[in-house]
Amino acid sequence: MSHEIVDARRLLCPMPVIRVQNRIAELPAGTLVKAICSDPGALSDIPAWCRINGHQVLETRVDDDEYIVIVQVGENT
Amino acid sequence: MSQNRKAVALISGGLDSLLAAKVIQDQGIHVEGINFYTGFCVEGHTHAIRKKDRNKPKRNNALWSAEQLGMKLHIVDIIDEYKDVVYNPRHGYGANMNPCLDCKIFMVQKALEWMQAHDFDFIITGEVIGQRPKSQRKDTMPVISNESGADDLLLRPLCARNLPETRPEKEGWVNREQLFDFSGRTRKPQMALAASLGFEDYAQPAGGCCFLTDAAYSIKLQDLWKSRGEKRYELDDIMLLKVGRHMRPREHFKVIIAREEGEGKFLRGYRKQFVCLDTVSHAGPLALIDGEVTRQDIELAAQLVARYSQGRSAESVELEVSDHGAEAYRIQVAPMPAHEIPQGWHV
């Protein structure tokens, strides 16, 4: 399945969260968003932001030195 | 009390803003949080950069606060707009380069814009009279309300009863009797309120949430502006001021030397934007040179970097030099003895 990509490499938190937030604001519910980050804080901050704003984190993982978060856009945006 | 009224709460991640939002939520008001990112926020950056800090538990306290309160949080990037506040604060700087009063006015003004755009009714902050010497005083509270344009739509639930009634109180949207009259620097009333509301875990006050309140950081920022001949910065500049050992051996260039592996890795990400020095003959730090430099300047910088490598006692140390991402070359230098480095070079 295709993802909207948010490239947040070399950005420190909360910028990856802001990039994800701003991208999700433009997308319909159900869309998948893949955030690629270099700040490990993104693995906690993006899921926290998703929990309080009604989006679902489908996967978090570490690929080498990159931190990946896959989010499904919720209804309540 | 109306169930339909909506308030936007400035959420810093500290205890006061958490309590202010909770107090208003408990009056049946729909509250959403807003958190502004200036680039100078302390939150988590050292953790992100330094290798030794990476495994420490980390959380963004603004997000954590919002989660505790079960409310949405909107994080707003104000990096570019905020520059004017830092360059020319109408009310001046605090003890360091912190323009606290102008900062608060600006953030309330931005919250007002957000409130109007999203059809909310009023703004709340966790301000307490007397809590901060520059921005949270009885005489500055009306300055913030007036100059931000929020006027009587700005409610400070923790000290409201020490202040004139605001519109949410006059209109009966909130009950003034259920607000508070905290004042002064003591944290005891907030801690007691937190306990009564069931909050046991919250961010401990640590002298501010902004690098501009830090003396060492402020000196580096002033040095940056002096070297440029004007007050000007980009986000990368203010990020780099948080990292490494900064030394200025000549007016026209500065060397940023990583102090540990995590900082070296972070600085390496900037190698295409700077002259980059990497120690290769010995274990040693990575460094960037900020400024227009000659071959002679690069050798001087390399001598400094070599001094902080494991080869500091060796006759010569080899470093790899890459100039803004161009093909790298190697140079050999004698490490500069510690006693020959003037104290004035340390920024």
On whether residue B227 sits in a domain, the answer given is: no
The count of domains in chain B is 2
Size of interface A-B (CB pairs under 8 A): 67
Q: Flag whether the ipTM exceeds 0.95.
A: no
On whether residue B216 sits in a domain, the answer given is: no
The answer for residues whose C-beta is within 8 angstroms of residue B275's C-beta and 6 or more apart is B288, B289, B293, B298, B301, B321, B322, B323, B324
Q: Do B44 and A13 touch (CB under 8 A)?
A: yes
In chain B, residues with a C-beta closer than 8 Å to the C-beta of A52 are 63, 66-67, 70-73
B268 touches A at CB < 8 Å:
no
A13 touches B at CB < 8 Å:
yes
A7 touches B at CB < 8 Å:
no
The answer for residues whose C-beta is within 8 angstroms of residue B9's C-beta and 6 or more apart is B17, B20, B21, B24, B31, B32, B33, B34, B71, B123, B124, B125
pTM: 0.90
Domain that holds residue A36: 4-72
Give the integer Cα–Cα distance in Å for B335 and B317: 7
Give CA angle at B11 (B114, B118), nearest 5°.
20
In tens digits, chain B (347 residues) has pLDDT values of 445 899 999 999 999 999 999 999 999 999 999 999 999 987 655 556 666 666 655 678 899 999 999 999 999 999 999 999 999 999 999 999 999 999 999 999 999 999 999 999 999 999 999 887 777 888 899 999 999 999 999 999 999 999 999 999 999 999 999 999 999 888 899 999 999 999 988 876 544 578 999 999 999 999 999 999 999 999 999 999 999 999 999 999 999 999 998 899 889 989 999 999 999 999 999 999 999 999 999 999 999 999 999 999 999 999 999 999 899 999 999 999 999 999 999 99
A49 touches B at CB < 8 Å:
yes
* Together in a domain, B168 and B293: no
* Together in a domain, B202 and B248: no
On whether residue A43 sits in a domain, the answer given is: yes
On whether residue B1 sits in a domain, the answer given is: no
- Helix ranges, chain B (H): 15-25, 45-49, 61-69, 79-87, 100-117, 141-148, 167-170, 188-196, 215-228, 235-240, 261-268, 295-307
On whether residue A41 sits in a domain, the answer given is: yes
The count of domains in chain A is 1
* Together in a domain, B171 and B38: yes
Q: Provide the CATH number for the domain around residue A27.
A: 3.30.110.40
Domain that holds residue B268: 243-345
Q: In Å, how far from its chain's centre is CA B159?
A: 26
Cα→Cα distances A45→A52, B58, B89, B230, Å: 11, 9, 32, 36
* A-contacting residues in B 64-93 (Cβ below 8 Å): 64, 66-67, 70-77
How many CB atoms within 10 Å of residue A36? Answer: 16
On whether residue A77 sits in a domain, the answer given is: no
A25 touches B at CB < 8 Å:
no
